[in-house]
């Protein structure tokens, strides 16, 4: 029963169809809609866009309406004697205020525009992160599928070797040791298959967390695909691009500009402000049973001159200067980190290409070694364990080669992410290398 279940899982995992196979680009577009982390980033960007509206509001007219209705009761006295107070006092006022000169508000508006830009940059970083997470998860599923395929191929080869060992033992040309060795390798391959199937399900679930569903089959790399080297080829060009275009550097640069404006805004606390004001007030009452009403219209300008604020403004300026210097230091840190990240990613791509080249050569050598051992076993100059070892070496090399190709592709995406240039077009380029299996 367990073997039937494993076979069913394997058939689903490795089933291929040109019409139903999903690819990397489709997985990415599904994740754009489904991934909750990216949805959170999108909402954060939408919220950040409102900062400009809020910053502009301090420069626009401010209008307000106040209404007061009070019932007055009490006792009073005058030269004519005591009297009762019992009347209703009504007051309605409409106020309008238009800032004419307020440097702090103008600076805050400029800051709000930079804050909106920072929100857009943070959202772009989330998009890049999603691209990398999807690519990583996608190729991990492919690697897990490949591992199962190689184990299955190895099991088939071992089964053939096991049958050959049994036949040779029956006719007396081999010892029982050959049979035991082949049987042990076959049992080990079965155990490895169980672990590989479990790993595949884990990797598929991880991809489903990003895309919302798990396709029955994914498109894989074309056989013998050739991976291209980074362009430009010079690492220093990538470093230069990262120091200016890396999303973290851009975001920190905006933060430094906002901090710089904070100094000017804090300094503006020493400056006067000028506002145009207008108000209309309507009052009604009946004091001493004598109806009274009035309407007052007031139009003018209001000048406010700060004189002393208990050193608060000076302290705010000092604080803003320190924070601006900190922001500049953080910008330097971001540039250095981006440069180091670009170098690391570049070396990862170059190392991956070298590994792929070496493993391709190793695959050819392992195949020749396997053929030679099989021939040697048939003529009696090699023993069964030699053939089994050669088989294991071949399939291990093929598994490592497939994994090296996937890792190199992901490293190339990380390199472009480090320079701030990763886009959907880069996923499309990799997607073109995939085909239905």
pLDDT in tens, the chain (437 residues): 444 444 544 444 444 333 345 899 999 999 999 999 999 999 999 999 999 999 999 999 999 999 999 887 877 776 777 767 777 888 999 999 999 999 999 999 999 999 999 999 999 999 999 999 999 999 999 999 999 988 888 888 878 878 877 887 777 766 788 788 878 888 888 898 999 999 999 999 999 999 998 877 889 998 778 999 999 889 999 999 999 999 999 999 999 999 999 999 999 999 999 999 999 999 887 665 567 788 999 999 999 999 998 999 999 999 999 999 999 999 999 999 999 999 999 999 999 999 999 999 999 999 999 889 888 877 777 767 787 778 888 888 988 999 999 999 999 999 999 999 999 999 999 999 998 76
| Residue 88, token pair as written in the block | 């209703």
For residue 387, the model assigns a pLDDT of 77
Report the distance separating Cα 389 and Cα 377, nearest Å: 12
- Residue among 373, 332, 328 nearest 161 (CA): 373
Distance CA 99, CA 73 (A): 41
Q: Give the pLDDT confidence score for residue 345 in this predicted structure.
A: 95
Cβ–Cβ < 8 Å for 253, 331 = yes
CA distances (Å), origin 172, targets 76, 167, 175, 184, 308 = 133, 9, 7, 21, 109
Distance CA 389, CA 395 (A): 10
CB 164 within 8 A of CB 382: no
Determine the topology of domain 2-59+103-270+313-435 in CATH.
Outer membrane efflux proteins (OEP) (1.20.1600)
Which sequence spans correspond to the domains of the chain? 2-59+103-270+313-435, 61-101+272-305
The answer to whether residues 265 and 108 touch, using CB atoms and an 8 Å cutoff, is yes
Q: Can you tell me the distance from the alpha carbon of 158 to that of 44, in angstroms, rounded to the nearest whole number?
A: 56
Task: Using CA atoms of 390, 395, 397, 400 in order, give the dihedral in degrees to the nearest 10.
Answer: -160
What does the alpha-carbon distance between residue 99 and residue 57 come to, in Å, rounded to a whole number? 10
């Amino acid at each position: 029963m367990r073997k039937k279940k494993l076979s069913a899982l394997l058939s689903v995992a490795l089933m291929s169809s040109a019409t139903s196979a999903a690819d990397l680009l489709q997985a990415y577009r599904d994740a754009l809609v489904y991934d909750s982390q990216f949805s959170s980033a999108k909402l954060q960007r939408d919220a950040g866009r409102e900062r400009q509206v809020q910053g502009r509001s301090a420069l626009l007219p401010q209008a307000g309406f106040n209404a007061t209705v009070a019932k007055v009761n009490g006792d009073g006295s005058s030269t004519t004697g005591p009297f009762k107070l019992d009347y209703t006092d009504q007051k309605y006022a409409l106020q309008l205020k238009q800032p004419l000169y307020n440097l702090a508000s103008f600076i805050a508006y400029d800051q709000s525009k930079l804050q909106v830009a920072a929100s857009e940059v943070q959202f772009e970083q989330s998009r890049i992160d999603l691209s990398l997470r999807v690519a990583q998860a996608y190729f991990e599923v492919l690697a897990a599928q490949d591992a199962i395929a190689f184990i299955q191929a190895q099991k088939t080869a071992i089964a053939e070797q096991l049958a050959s060992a049994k036949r040779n033992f029956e006719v007396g040309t081999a010892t029982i040791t050959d049979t035991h060795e082949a049987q042990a390798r076959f049992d080990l391959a079965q155990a490895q298959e169980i672990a590989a199937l479990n790993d595949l399900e884990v990797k598929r679930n991880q991809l489903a967390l990003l895309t919302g569903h798990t396709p029955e089959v994914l498109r894989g790399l074309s056989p013998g695909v050739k991976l291209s080297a980074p362009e430009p080829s010079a690492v220093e060009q990538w470093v230069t691009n990262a120091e200016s275009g890396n999303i973290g550097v851009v975001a920190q640069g905006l933060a430094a500009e906002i901090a710089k404006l904070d100094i000017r805004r804090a300094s503006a606390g020493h400056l006067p402000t000028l506002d145009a004001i207008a108000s209309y007030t309507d009052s009604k009452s009946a004091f001493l049973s004598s109806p009274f009403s009035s309407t007052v219209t007031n139009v003018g300008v209001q000048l406010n001159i700060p004189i002393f604020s208990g050193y608060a403004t000076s302290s705010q300026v000092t604080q803003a200067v320190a924070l601006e210097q900190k922001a500049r230091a953080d910008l330097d840190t971001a540039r250095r980190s981006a440069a180091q990240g670009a170098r690391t990613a570049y070396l990862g791509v170059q190392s991956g290409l070298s590994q792929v080249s070496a493993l391709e050569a190793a695959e050819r050598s392992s195949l020749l070694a396997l053929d030679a051992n099989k021939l040697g076993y048939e003529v009696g100059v090699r023993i069964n364990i030699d053939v089994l070892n050669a088989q294991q070496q071949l399939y291990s090399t093929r598994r490592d080669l497939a994994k090296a190709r996937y890792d190199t592709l992901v490293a190339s995406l990380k390199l472009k992410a480090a320079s701030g240039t990763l886009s959907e077009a880069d996923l499309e380029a990799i997607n073109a290398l995939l085909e239905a299996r």
